[in-house]
Structure 1
Amino acid sequence: MTMKSIMVHAGSDSAFESRMQAGLDLARRFDGHMSLILPRPTQDYVAFDMFGGAHFIAEAFDAAEKERAKLCARIDERLKAEDVPWDWQLFDGTTSDALINAGRLADILIMSLDEAGAPGIARTWVSDVVTGSRTPVLAIPASCKQISFDRVMIAYDGGFEAANAVRAALPMLMAATQVRISEVETLPEEFPVTDVASYLSRHGINAEIAVAAKGDQSVEERLLAEANAWRPDLLVMGAYSHGRWRETLFGGVTKFMLGELGIPVLLAH
């Protein structure tokens, strides 16, 4: 299994460099194609008056279009030196809607995480896209220089979302040197962690199992402690669970891990 269609959220923000580098790394590793997805939020150029009317601010839109063209030209010049095929795709609408629409036929979509301890708009975009589409998202810290998956940790809770994340991550798991399936023991399991190990073994992946007692910590605190102790290059987890963790939508464990871990996270819904 492999990843051939790799889509990257493009933009003029400072974190775009890390996203693009991750896209290049994956495209090289899996001999894939990188598409740079550039949202064009036309709703940002609509003004409303006090009488309920609205009008399009053409001057502002034209100025933004020129900036987008400059961005594309600058990145094109840089990518000429890379050994990866790429293209641009522009989508109208909000950032979340543009990425959801672009990702319909993507193997993976690369987005950014907010810096640890500093919640921002990036986490909202990730949550919107993961829960609004069926495309797995690789969310990476802005400070990430390159993507590595020598050591991969799977956060498993017995839910559909965690299982979907494992399937989405198979190409990375097959390339990994070490794989650990981590579970925080809370309630009896309907789909035990050993099922994941058996599934992975059929793909030639020898994974170790680590079940941690919850103790007096929350599930997210215990899982974070496990990740900090084992120090994986990548975390694989479901983005929203109806299973034993009983998260609210993109809250609880998922939200905590995205804000505190500081490593790339592969998410699926």
Structure 2
Amino acid sequence: MSIASIMVSLDLGRSAGDRVRLAADLAGRFEAGLIGIAARTIDTPAPVGDILEAQDAYAEERAALVDDLAEARTIFARSSGSALRTEWRQIEAGPEAFLVRQARGADLVVVGRDPRGDGAGALGAAPGPVLMEVGRPVLVVPPGIDRLAAARIVVAWKDAPEARRAVTAALPFITRADQVFVVGVGREASHEGAGEVADLLARHGAHVTAHALEAPNRTVAGEILHFSERHDADLVVMGGYGHARLREWLLGGVTRDILQDAPLCCLMCH
């Protein structure tokens, strides 16, 4: 598997430029194209008695939308550096929905971990809904990180289709890493096949070891992050777990905790 096209979500948050620089560095490393993308809807003006006032309010919102998209495009152009091939896409639409649609032309989607807390504004694409619907590997980047070496990778293994897809999607990173740790957490970890996954990755040329963790005093997500910190990892690979109820995507506990708390990049697949 190779990475030929990387799509990065733009917003007006404090870490938007860092996220683009990280994506551009990956594009250079994999000789991939880089696509910047931004979208937001226009806030509907409150009902007023005069139609002219309503038109003026809409015109102001429309002008704000144009300004926001122009600023996002400037951030992308300024931060993408010497990426070999770049492309820009923008529209008036919901940011998650537009990103999900456009990701059909990408091998990897890069989003911020906490756009709301980062001051992203209405352009911010929340990683949870994107992960659940996009059908592509999603690289979730915490605030303040502008480069991903992917030198030491933790594969948070659970014998489920989501984790299998994540491992396959991460092979371009795994085969270049200095060390890979396949980690199972909990009472059933020894029966989940982490050793077999490690053997498979070794056949792909990875320097890999398998580990079973008990996590008696932490949550599963907490144990994964603690292990990653102790082993100086800079990337976690894992499945993204959730389900749909009443047409709303709901995240599983481990996925939710990682998206809320992870201080390092996470590559996830649903």
Same fold per TM (> 0.5)? Answer: yes
CA distance in 2, matches of 1:221, 1:75: 34
Q: Which amino acid aligns with 1:161?
A: E
Tell me if the contact between 2:137 and 2:267 (Cα under 8 Å) persists in the aligned partners: yes
Q: Which residue of 2 is the match for residue 98 of structure 1?
A: 98
Distance 2:256 2:140 in 1: 12
Inter-CA distance 66–231: structure 2 relative to 1 (3 Å threshold): same
Structure 2 spans left out of the alignment, 5+ residues: 244-248
User: TM-score normalized by structure 2?
Assistant: 0.84
Query: In structure 1, what is the Cα distance between the partners aligned to 2:16 and 2:126?
Result: 14
Q: Which residue of 2 aligns with 1:11?
A: 11
Amino acid of the structure 1 residue aligned with 2:231: W
How many residues align? The count is: 258
Equivalent residue runs for 1:132-151 within 5 Å: 132-151=133-152
For 2:172 and 2:256, how far apart are their aligned partners in 1? 25
Conservation of the 8 A alpha-carbon contact between 1:181 and 1:208: yes
Counterpart CA distance in 2 for 1:184 and 1:119 is 31
Equivalent residue, structure 2, for 1:212: 213
Judged with a 3 Å threshold, the aligned counterparts in structure 2 of structure 1 residues 101 and 73 are, in CA distance, closer, same or farther, namely same
Does 2:41 align with 1:20? Answer: no
Quick one: distance in 2 between partners of 1:71 and 1:187?
A: 46
TM-aligned CA deviation for residue 10 of structure 1:
1.3
| 8 A Cα contact 1:197 1:206, kept in partner | no
Deviations for 1:161-194, whole angstroms, at most 9, x for unmatched residues?
1111111111011111110101113227665112
In the superposition, the TM-score normalised over structure 1's length comes to 0.84
Is the CA contact (8 Å cut-off) linking 1:100 and 1:132 kept in structure 2?
Answer: yes
Amino acid at match of 2:227: E
Q: Give aligned-pair identity as a percent.
A: 26
Encode CA deviations 1:114-165: one digit per residue, 9 max, x unaligned.
29xx699899810000001201111111110211101011000111111111
| Superposed CA offset, 1:200-257 (max 9, x none) | 2332223100111233433223223222211201011111069xxxxx9323111212
Quote the offset at 1:260 in angstroms.
2.2
Name the structure 2 match of 1:114: 114
Instruction: Write the letter of the residue equivalent to 2:36.
Output: L
Q: Distance in 2 between matches of 1:77 and 1:17?
A: 8
The 5-angstrom pairing of residues 37-186 of structure 1 reads: 37-39=37-39, 41-42=40-41, 44-49=42-47, 57-73=58-74, 75-76=76-77, 79=80, 82-114=82-114, 125-186=126-187
Q: In 2 relative to 1, CA 10–100 (structure 1 residues): closer, same or farther, beyond 3 Å? A: same
Q: Note closer, same or farther for the CA distance 1:255–1:147 as it changes in structure 2 (3 Å cut).
A: same
Write the distance in 2 (CA, Å) between the matches of 1:73 and 1:237.
Answer: 33
Query: Do 1:137 and 1:266's aligned partners in 2 also have CA atoms closer than 8 Å?
Result: yes
Is this contact kept in 1: 2:7–2:109, CA < 8 A?
Answer: yes
Residues of 1 paired with 2:26 and 2:182: CA distance?
23
The one-letter code matched in structure 1 to 2:90 is L
* Unaligned stretches of 5+ residues in structure 1: 243-247
* 2:236 is the counterpart of 1:235: yes
Cα pair distance change 1:234/1:195, threshold 3 Å? same
User: How far 1:102 sits from its partner (Å)?
Assistant: 1.3
C-alpha separation in 2, matches of 1:78 and 1:112 = 15
State the one-letter code of the partner of 1:18: D
Q: Is the 8 A contact 1:119 1:259 kept in 2?
A: no
- CA distance in 2 between counterparts of 1:119 and 1:71 reads 15
Structure 2 partner of 1:245: none
1:96 Cα offset (Å):
0.9
Q: Distance in 1 between matches of 2:258 and 2:127?
A: 13
Superposed displacement of residue 258, structure 1: 2.4
- For residues 119 and 156 of structure 1, the distance between their equivalents in structure 2, rounded to whole angstroms, comes to 29
3-state SS of the aligned residue for 1:109?
strand
Q: Identify if the C-alpha distance between structure 1 residues 201 and 78 changes in structure 2 by more than 3 Å, giving closer, same or farther.
A: closer
Q: CA-to-partner distance for each residue in 1:23-79, whole Å, 9 max, x for gaps?
A: 11111100010000111x23x33235389xx98813321332144235435643665
- Cα contact 1:158–1:189 (8 A) shared by 2: no
**1:103 and 1:109 in contact (8 A); partners too:** yes
SS in 2 for 1:128: helix
